[in-house]
Amino acid sequence: MRNELVVLTDYVRSESGYEGPLDPESDLLDAKILDSFSIVQLAMFVQERFGVELEAEDLTRANLATLSNIVALIDRRKAGVGG
C-alpha cells in the first residue's frame, strides 16, 4: 500500500473514529464515514501533510470522496498538473 494511502487511512480513522474496513475505492461520504465539513478538514490536511497546494477546482466530490481519488489528486498536484 502506498505511503499516502496509509497516511490518509490513519487520518480518516483518527478523525472519524471509524473502525470498519476502509477500501480505497469506497465513497467516504456515501458510507457516512465523513461529512462535508470533514472533507474540508481532510483537504486542509492533504495540503499540509503532502506539501501540495489545492486550487478551488480541486475541491470537488470527484477528487475528495475516495482515498484513491485523493491519492491521484496528490500525484497530479505534485506533478504540477491541474485538478
Domain count, the chain: 1
pLDDT tens-digit series, residues 51-65: 999 999 999 999 999
CATH number at residue 42: 1.10.1200.10
Q: What is the pLDDT of residue 6?
A: 96
Which residues of the chain are modeled with pLDDT < 50?
none
Domain presence at residue 83: no
Q: What is the pLDDT of residue 1?
A: 60
Indicate the pTM of the whole model: 0.91
Q: Look over the chain and give the mean of its residue pLDDT values, rounded to a whole number.
A: 94
What is the spatial distance between Cα 73 and Cα 10, in angstroms, rounded to a whole number? Answer: 18
The residue segments making up the domain with residue 9 are: 3-78
Q: Which of 41, 38, 47, 49 is nearest to 77 (CA)?
A: 47
